[in-house]
Chain A
Amino acid sequence: MGIRGLAGVLFLTVAVIWYLSGLEGYKIFVPGLAQGAAMTLQITAAAAVLAVIAAITAALSKLYGPAPLRWLAITYIEVFRGTSALVQLFWLYFVLPVFGITMEAYEAAVLGIGLNIGAYGAEVVRGAIISVPRGQWEATIALNMTRAQALRRIILPQAFAAMIPPWGNLFIELLKTTALVSMITLGDLAFRAQQMNQTTMKTVQIFTLVLLIYLAMSLAITIGMRVLEHRAARGILRARAA
């Protein structure tokens, strides 16, 4: 779907949420769900920042780090990609205290989800860096740049454009993963929905609203990343033309 189509669907989704939240059967759930949605957004934003940092660090370590650092990065990537996000969250929240490290549910949630998506992101970053043509590296050598300079000025800006679309998918994945934090007692959207479902049994109304809210959030992320993609591609094209 094009960016216009997506914006149309987002508008429609928001309109339906707006309409439903005015109806009698739905009205009572709106404040609780809004609180939950705020928590979901907060976790998503914090975990996204952590994921990007973890991904870039791990990818650079795996590509250019000395052997011990490289092995550490590979272990991190394989462990977090190889096990379930839910198991990781439980491990952080319930098992780590046994080893003397106690965390708030919120910290465990951000850490678990951020590191989980970061591990997938590391491979995305690595792939994007590798996909920069070899000639670019050779040119930086000819210009007598150090490796750090070459990475920062030449390679990463070009790799950045290539990694935006896969990061868009990962951010949506991240948003959806935040639903798991309801299982470590954090009051996000999924948690509020379950809680209200148990007290009121108005399942259809609650879960319809929740699905629509998640849909609106995903669409907003998709549209944002598409815009970013256009911007980045334009920069590269202008640079190539000049």
Chain B
Amino acid sequence: MWDWAFALEILPTLAKAAVVTVQVTVLGFLIALVVGLMLAACRVMLPGTRFPISLLVELIRSTPLLIQIFFLYFVGPSFGLTLDALTAGILAVGLHYAAYCSEVYRAGFESVPRGQWEASVALNLGRWTTLRDIIIPQAIPPVVPALGNYLVALFKETPLLSAIAVMELMQSAKIIGSQTFRYNEPITLVGLFFLVMSLASAWAIRRVETGINRRYKR
């Protein structure tokens, strides 16, 4: 039922694929952080963009990531946007989580007292300077744990990229399965890999959280 020799034999292949998974996670999350911050900042700074952005965020958050990946990968070319599978996957994952992150940032912005904005007006700071130097430094630290949770969530969504044949963990496990007709070792190993990584990152987030609380609780 469980063949240790076979499990050891496929380990190097899976390890190679794990690198792609981590790569997708890191790049996708970078996109999510940057685009999410831009969306949230636009919403605060330009009142006219508030409605379209909230509509866009709702749209992205209420449709499945799998469909969005297909949309970007298959529909993109008919609008002249031809991406290879890996790029399309990273972009789709990144934009999906950018919508979630923008909501987190928004909560952060709203937690900064109004007096901070008023004080900056009194000091004759520009609106963008206020945002960059006063608001963002206060808004980000409290939401770091929430962002961390989305990092873990994003990481766990990366197997979806196997649907457009990106050679990440799940895809290589599927290929091993279809070549050898043994699914239990590869898929169990992939599951274990995700479990270990998620538990480790949950632990790391808790550490960061307590660190931040210690520094910012007065």
Contact surface of A with B, Cβ cutoff 8 Å: 1, 9, 78-79, 81-88, 90-91, 94-95, 98-99, 172, 175-180, 182-183, 190, 193-194, 197, 203-204, 207-208, 210-211, 214-215, 218-219, 222
User: Contacts of B174 on A, CB cut-off 8 Å?
Assistant: 90
Cβ contact of A204, chosen from B55, B62, B75, cutoff 8 A: B75
Q: Which residue of A lies closest to B177 (CB)?
A: A94
Assuming the contacts A82-B198, A84-B194, asked whether A90 and B187 have C-beta atoms less than 8 A apart, the reply is yes
Cβ contact of B70, chosen from A9, A90, A95, A194, cutoff 8 A: A194
CB distance from A13 to the nearest CB of B (A): 10
User: Contacts of B199 on A, CB cut-off 8 Å?
Assistant: 78, 82
Assuming the contacts A90-B187, A91-B191, A95-B183, asked whether A85 and B156 have C-beta atoms less than 8 A apart, the reply is yes
CB distance from B29 to the nearest CB of A (A): 16
In whole angstroms, what is the CA distance A43 to B117 when docked?
A: 48
In whole angstroms, what is the CA distance A207 to B75 when docked?
A: 8
Q: State the main secondary structure of chain A at its contact with B.
A: helix
Assuming the contacts A85-B156, A87-B191, A88-B191, asked whether A214 and B78 have C-beta atoms less than 8 A apart, the reply is no
In the complex the two chains form, is B195's CB within 8 Å of A207's CB? Answer: no
Interface segment among B83-91, B104-112, B125-133, B157-165: the answer is B157-165
User: Contacts of B61 on A, CB cut-off 8 Å?
Assistant: 172
- Complex A-B, nearest 8 residue pairs according to Cβ-Cβ distance, in ascending order: A218-B62, A179-B64, A82-B198, A94-B183, A176-B64, A179-B66, A86-B159, A82-B195
Binary contact readout B140-176 vs A (1 if CB under 8 angstroms, 0 otherwise): 0000000000000000111110110000001001100
In the complex the two chains form, is A203's CB within 8 Å of B59's CB? Answer: no
In the complex the two chains form, is B70's CB within 8 Å of A207's CB? Answer: yes
Q: Which residue of A lies closest to B68 (CB)?
A: A211
In the complex the two chains form, is B183's CB within 8 Å of A190's CB? Answer: no
In the complex the two chains form, is B70's CB within 8 Å of A180's CB? Answer: no
In the complex the two chains form, is A84's CB within 8 Å of B156's CB? Answer: yes
In the complex the two chains form, is A176's CB within 8 Å of B74's CB? Answer: no
Interface range on chain B: under 10, 10 to 19, 20 to 34, or 35 or more? Answer: 35 or more
In the complex the two chains form, is A98's CB within 8 Å of B184's CB? Answer: yes
Within 8 A of A (CB), among B161-218: 162-163, 170, 173-174, 177, 183-184, 187-188, 190-191, 194-195, 198-199, 202
In the complex the two chains form, is A203's CB within 8 Å of B67's CB? Answer: no
In whole angstroms, what is the CA distance A211 to B174 when docked?
A: 27
In whole angstroms, what is the CA distance A175 to B65 when docked?
A: 11
10 pairs, CB–CB < 8 Å, chain A vs chain B: A87-B159, A91-B187, A94-B183, A99-B184, A179-B66, A179-B67, A180-B66, A182-B66, A207-B70, A207-B75
In the complex the two chains form, is A98's CB within 8 Å of B1's CB? Answer: yes
User: Contacts of A91 on B, CB cut-off 8 Å?
Assistant: 187-188, 191
